[in-house]
Structure 1
Amino acid sequence: MLPCPSSVRSQSMQANNWLISSGGRRGALVDLFRESTSPVRSRVVVTDVSRLSAAGQHADEFELVPRISADNFLSETLRISKKHGCSTIVPTIDPEIAVLARARAQFRQHGVDIWVSSPQVAELGWDKWDLYRWLIEAGYPTIDTQEIAESRLVPFAGRVVAKPRTGSSSIGVLIVDNVESLRVSALTDDYILQRFAPGIEVTVDVAVDERGTVLATVPRRRLEVRAGEVSKGVTIHVPEIELLVRDMVTSLPGAYGVLNVQVIYDPETNSPKILEINPRFGGGYPLSHAAGGDLIGAMLRSKTGDTASETWRPGTVMLRYDEAKFYADQEFVLSPWS
C-alpha cells in the first residue's frame, strides 16, 4: 500500500464544469471527471473535430471545434468553455498540447485554467531528440540516441529502434536486429535512431501542482499495447522508478497538470531509463485511478493546499474490452453516404 493524495475528504468538493478537448474514444475519462467532486456530480463538456466521437456522445455536452491548426481553434475552445461555465480544460492528444500551452495565460484572464505544462515542456514531449538532449544535459539516464544524419556515418551496432523524432502512438516505429537491415539511407531526415534497451516498459502517471510540486506518482506496467495505447496493464511498486520520475518531473521547466512518463526498467540491473514524456493524461490513466491514485482529486485539492495522502494499490490489473456508444444521427438518415 503506497502513499498517494487522498481521494476522500471530510469536506465535500464543489461541483466543477470540465472541458475535455479532443475527447475521441475517452469515455472512461469522461466518467472519472464527472465523478471527481462526488457526492456532488460535475458536468463534462467534450469537444472534438468529428461528430463521431464516443466521448462526445457520452458527455453531458458535446461541441464540434475546428481542427487544431485552424486560426479559430483557440477562440472557439474559449467560447465553448465560457458558454458552459467550464473552469478547467483538459487536453488529451499530443498535437494540441503546444497550442494550448501557449494560450494558458490568455485563457486564465477569462477565468479558465488549462491543465497543461509550459511551452518548453510541451516541446520536450513532442520532440524526442530535444528531450534526449535535455535529459543528457540534466544528468538523467536515458537511451543512447542519434540523429539520422549521424547514424548514416557512424551507426549503432546491434539491435536498434528507428522512430520519427516527433509524433505519437508508435506511428512509424521500426525495430531491427542491425542497422544494415534498416536501410538508414531510405529514412527521412526527421528520424532518430536509438539503441534497443532490454527491459520492461513502465508508464508513470504524475500529478504536478502550480508550484511545480509533484503530488503523486503511480507506475503501471504495460502488459499489452494496441495501436500505441495500453490494453492490459498492472500497477507496480518500484521505488527506483518513482524516485527517478519524481526528480525528473520536478526539474522540468514548468510542468503542470497530469503527465505520464515512459520508462524502460531492467530488473537485472535495477536501473530505470527515461524514454519519453507526455504532458497530458495517458490512455491508461483509468488504471491508476482504479488503484486509488486519484490524480484528478489531487490536482483539485492542491488548490486549497491540501497534500494529505492515502494509499494506492500495487497489483491492480486492467483488462480492457470493447464497449460501444449508440445514438441516433439524423444526418445519416438524410444522407447515408455523408
Structure 2
Amino acid sequence: MNILLTSAGRRTYLVDFFKEALVKYNGKVHAINSHENAPALYHADFYSIAPPISSEQYISFLLEYCKAKAIKIIVPLLDLDLPVLAKAKPLFQTEGIYVLAPSEDIALLANDKYLTYLFLKDKGFDTVQNFLSLESFEEAHKLGKANFPVIIKPRWGMGSLFTYEAENSEELHFFYKKAKRQVINSHLSHESQQDPGQEILIMEKIDGEEYMLDIINDLEGNHKRTVVNKKLTRKLGETEAVVTVADSKLEKLGQEIASFLRHPLVCDVDVIVNAKGSYILEFNPRFSGGYPFSHLAGINLPLALIQWVNGEEVNESTTLIPEIGTHSMKAISMVKVRAMNLTTYN
C-alpha cells in the first residue's frame, strides 16, 4: 500500500509517522508540493512537484500520479487542498483510491473562518465575535458590544499568516489595510475571490487557557475519542509545547462537534477556556500542526487510517488512547538536499 501526502510543506514528522505505519504493509510514502523548498519532500520515499492547487491541471495530475504509483490513500495537509479534493473524491474512488477529506460542504465551512463563526453560533457553541468590516466592528464598539484588543486575520487563512493584534482604532485601521494588501498579493488571493472586499476578519481577543482538541472519528464519521492538549508555550502563533490532559468537559465538547461535522479520522479544534465558558475559535478537519503532540502521547492515526481503509480491526487500546500527562515540545531540524533532481508536472 502506497500513500500520497499532498502539500507536504515542512511536515517531515508526518512523513516519518506514515513511514513507520507502513513498515509491515511494505508500502511507500510519496509526497508532493507546488515548489521544491518543502523539507517534507526529502523525507518521503518518493516525491514530485505538482501544479498549484488552484490550477486546472491539479486533479488530473494527482489522478495520473496515483495510478502510475499505485497510490491507495491520499492525505491532504493544507486547508486549501480540502475543498478541491473533497469535490473530486468520487473520481478517485472509481480508481480504488481513498481520499482523506470531509464532505465538500464541511471543507468549505472550515476554510471560511467567518462561515465557521456563523456555524458555531447557529449550533449553540460558545465562540468569539467576528466582524467582516471595519464599519461593523466600529458600530458594535460604539454601542459597547465589542471591545479591544482585537485580532485581525485572513478570512481564508491558515496558521498565523498575516495575523495581527490591535489595541486601539489606529492600530486596527493600520493592520486591517496591511493584512488586506498582503492577502490580495499572496496565494490566499484565489480563495478570497469568493467574496471580494471581505477578505479580512476582525475577531475579539479573549483571555483564558488555550487548548487544542484532536477529535478522532472513524472513516464513517463516528466519534471515537477526543484528545485534549493544553498549550504551554506559543511563539509567532505556533504552539511549541503542550501537556496532554484528561478533561471531561472538553472531551464532551469534542464529541458534540463530531456529531455535526461527521469528519473522517481527525479534526483539530482551537479552544479558549475561562470562567465564562469554553470558546471555540476554529476547526480544521485534517492532520494539523498540533497532531504530533497527540502522536507523541500514544495516538497513532496513520496506522488507524491504514487499517480502516484495509477493513482491518483497529486496536483502540494501542492506537487511540493517549498517555495523560505527556509533556511534548516541537523542535527545529534541518534537511540537507544534496542534489535537486526534481520531477515536475511540466
Residue number in structure 2 paired with 1:312: 322
> Is this contact kept in 1: 2:233–2:242, CA < 8 A?
yes
TM-score normalised by the chain length of structure 2: 0.83
- Runs (4+) off by over 6 Å: none
Judging changes above 3 Å, is the alpha-carbon distance between structure 1 residues 41 and 179 closer, same or farther for their aligned structure 2 residues? farther
Structure 1 pair 154–235 and aligned structure 2 pair: CA distance change class (3 A): same
CA contact (8 A) 1:97 1:122 kept: yes
1:172-321 alignment runs, 5 A limit: 172-179=162-169, 181-183=171-173, 187=177, 189-252=198-261, 254-266=262-274, 268-269=275-276, 271-303=277-309, 304=311, 306=313, 309-310=316-317, 311-321=321-331
Q: Secondary structure at the match of 1:87?
A: strand
Shift of 1:179: 4.1
Checking the alignment, whether the CA contact within 8 Å between 1:157 and 1:179 is kept in structure 2 is: no
Moved more, 296-305 or 100-109: 296-305
Q: Deviations over 1:165-214 (max 9, x none)?
A: 22112122222334464238964542222222111221112232332212
Q: Distance in 2 between matches of 1:172 and 1:206?
A: 27
Change (3 A) 1:21 1:192: same
Alpha-carbon displacement from aligned partner over 1:80-131 (angstroms, at most 9, x marks no partner) = 1111111000001112111111111111111111101111111121111111
Tell me what 2:194 maps to: none
> Where do 1:1-338 residues align within 5 Å?
16-148=1-133, 149-155=135-141, 156-179=146-169, 181-183=171-173, 187=177, 189-252=198-261, 254-266=262-274, 268-269=275-276, 271-303=277-309, 304=311, 306=313, 309-310=316-317, 311-329=321-339
- Separation in 2, partners of 1:182, 1:18: 44
- AA matched with 1:160: V
Distance 1:236 1:275 in 2: 20
Distance 1:41 1:272 in 2: 44
Counterpart-to-counterpart distance in 1, 2:269 and 2:151: 19
Q: What whole-Å deviation, never above 9, does each CA across 1:44-91 have from its counterpart, x for those lacking one?
A: 000111223221111111111111111111111111111111100000
Shift of 1:308: 5.2
* Paired amino acid for 2:338: A
Q: Does the CA-based 8 Å contact 1:152-1:185 persist in structure 2?
A: no
Q: Deviations over 1:287-328 (max 9, x none)?
A: 211111122233344453746532311221222222222232
Residue 197 of structure 1 aligns with an amino acid whose one-letter code is: I
Alpha-carbon distance change, 183 to 330 in structure 1, aligned in 2, over 3 angstroms:
closer
Q: Distance in 1 between matches of 2:74 and 2:289?
A: 17
Distance 1:263 1:185 in 2: 24
Inter-partner Cα distance in structure 2 for 1:118 and 1:131:
15
- Map Cα deviations across residues 272-296 of structure 1 (whole Å, 9 max, x no partner): 1111011211112122111111222
Write the letter of the residue equivalent to 2:290: G
* Structure ranking higher in helix proportion: 2
Looking at both structures, which has the greater relative contact order when contacts are Cα pairs under 8 Å and sequence separation is at least 6? 1
Let me know the Cα RMSD of the aligned residues.
Answer: 2.3
Aligned residue type for 2:225: A
Q: Which runs of 5+ in 1 are unaligned?
A: 1-15, 333-338
Percent identical across equivalent pairs?
28
Task: Quickly say closer, same or farther: Cα 1:115–1:185, change in 2 above 3 A.
Answer: closer
State how many pairs are aligned. Answer: 314
Q: Distance in 1 between matches of 2:340 and 2:152?
A: 45
TM-score scaled by length of structure 1: 0.85
**Native 8 Å contact 1:35 1:41 kept in 2:** no
Q: How many Å apart are 1:29 and its aligned residue?
A: 0.5
**Aligned letter for 1:255?**
H
C-alpha contact 2:5 2:29 (8 A) present in aligned 1: yes
Decide whether aligned partners of structure 1 residues 226 and 78 sit closer, same or farther in structure 2, where only a CA change above 3 A counts.
farther
Distance in 2 (alpha carbons) for counterparts of 1:196 and 1:327: 41
- Native 8 Å contact 2:166 2:175 kept in 1: no
**2:80 match: secondary structure:** helix
* Alignment CA distance shift 1:299-1:153 (3 Å): same
